[in-house]
Structure 1
Amino acid sequence: MKQDLRVKKTKKAIHDALITLVKEKDFSRISVRDLCETAEINRGTFYLHYLDKFDLLEQLQQELLDRLWQIVTIRLTEKMHQLSSKPDILLLFATELFTYVDQEADTFYMLLVDAIDPSFQEKIKDLIKRNMLRLTDHETVSTAVPIDYVMAYVTSAAVGILQHWLQRGRTNPPEELARMIVQINLNGPMRMLNA
């Protein structure tokens, strides 16, 4: 148990060091030495957990995505039978998503706003898409626009709103942000602009 706690503390120190350093310089200029000095650990300790800074970044992203998938999937599965309408399900999904991003705001800011790895945006979009497809009967949907274009629109909008929210300092609570994105998705942006 003590070992696990020590590993968690060490990894958190390294993650925090990365977040701190990205505010000061480009990821390409950050060295393992910089990370170790900022985290106040030795290089051997760093290499016990990561191959290099790219492995650190990959593992950090995967931990966020795994946790996000788990939160959204478990909560949706637990509560879906209680919800009577698609808007309620979408609202729950969006609220869970934004609440988790809020909890890990510094890390998501680094990945989505500082964009130290542009592929992370695509990973988030894929996670949103997979959950949206679970929430809809997309096999029987008949639309003038192919479903892959609809999903590209919805997921890009969600990531764009996340980036905007993070850049503005998360001034709106996650529940309010979730209501906004559901309103935009259900009513369409042009109708919202003309309202």
Structure 2
Amino acid sequence: MQEMISNAKGSRSEQTRKRIEQTYLNLIFEKKWDRITVKELCSRANITRGTFYQYYGDIYELMEQIQNSILQEMSRKYKELSGNPRPPFPIEEFIDRYEVEPPPLLLFWFDFCRAHKTAMEALLDPHNGDPYFVKKLKNILNEYIEAMMDNDGLPRDGLRGYFVRTVAELHFLSARLWLESEGENALTAEEVVNLLNTMRVGAGYLTYKQMITAKTGDKTPV
């Protein structure tokens, strides 16, 4: 009986925490994240200020906990996906062995955005979201894009830094556009992933052409 009471309390506590976080995220669509007051949050969530302070010291701690939860989950999953890289292969075998289908690392970004739609849409909002969260997220994205390029067998040359930053920015842009899209003409996650994947495939092919040309001097298109 005591265990049942404890579980019920834990369940109610978790529901209250989720209601506070969801209400806060919804308010970000209306107002800059650090301008939202505890008073208006409590009013919108239909809770007392005392209830809020049972869980969070202030708005900043609330935002920090939301961000940390998202970043930790994303980092953990990316590490799992990056744990089994494909063995490298000679550049001459690129055409036969290069995998043109979107890799799991690319697919996961949109699966994650879909699973955390409200949070990601609010936190990535260019007007009311937190730019420091974007910076933290970019660090994670840069690491996984590097891992994706390593899996593709692409060299760590001078162009790589530009590619990583460009693809990371496209992740944010495509995610925002996709999350905001509605109606019959809205793209599916798979369609957006395929658009992003064209840049990955193009980068691989250009690298292949450059390396083959450097070896053979043959500039004839393949």
TM-score (normalised: structure 2): 0.71
Do structure 1's residue 174 and structure 2's residue 189 form an aligned pair?
yes
Do structure 1's residue 143 and structure 2's residue 157 form an aligned pair?
yes
Aligned to 1:34: 40
The separation in 1 between residues aligned to 2:13 and 2:74, in whole angstroms, is: 21
Alignment of 1:121-136 (within 5 A): 121-136=134-149
**Cα offset, 1:86, TM superposition:** 5.3
Q: CA RMSD in A?
A: 2.8
Highest CA radius of gyration, 1 or 2? 2
**Cα offset, 1:20, TM superposition:** 2.6
In structure 2, what residue type is equivalent to 1:64?
I
The separation in 1 between residues aligned to 2:154 and 2:29, in whole angstroms, is: 47
Structure 2, unaligned runs of 5 or more: 1-6, 87-96, 207-222
Do structure 1's residue 70 and structure 2's residue 76 form an aligned pair?
yes
Displacement over 4 Å in runs of 4+: 84-88
Structure 1, unaligned runs of 5 or more: none
Tell me which of 82, 94, 104 is aligned to 2:116. 104
The separation in 1 between residues aligned to 2:79 and 2:174, in whole angstroms, is: 21
Aligned to 1:95: 107
Aligned to 2:178: 165
TM-score (normalised: structure 1): 0.79
The separation in 2 between residues aligned to 1:140 and 1:184, in whole angstroms, is: 13
Change (3 A) 1:115 1:155: farther
Higher share in helix: 1
| Percent identical residues | 22
Change (3 A) 1:169 1:56: farther
